[in-house]
Amino acid sequence: MLEYRHSLLSNLPALSFQTPGLRAAHPVSMVIIGDVEREQMNENQWRSFELFRTSLRDVRIITYDEIFAGISMLTEALSD
């Protein structure tokens, strides 16, 4: 993911010439991985995972179950 981000920033002048208005001052990348519930992590493993993903500067790691939970909450909020 960091390589893709680097490539985007390196090629931004050429890309913005082809696509006027394209800007990317400090893009954040996102990686969608796994299902925490299925992994059945214990408390130490979960804490380690949280420490790892929150320590990353330019990459956000999110799990499928977190996405589905967010969509579910949004659906419930919009249907009320």
Q: pLDDT for 36-67, tens place per residue?
A: 778 888 999 999 999 999 999 889 999 999 99
Predicted local distance difference test score (pLDDT) of residue 39: 80
Write the single-letter amino acid at 4: Y
Q: First vs last Cα of the chain: how many Å apart?
A: 38
| List of E strands, the chain | 29-33, 59-63
pLDDT score of 31 more than 90 = yes
Cα(44)–Cα(62) distance, integer angstroms: 18
* Residue 54, number of CB atoms within 10 A of its CB: 9
Question: Across all residues in the chain, what is the average pLDDT?
Answer: 89
Q: Which pTM value belongs to this model? A: 0.69
| Cα separation, 26 vs 48, whole angstroms | 27
In the chain, the percentage of residues whose pLDDT exceeds 70 is 100
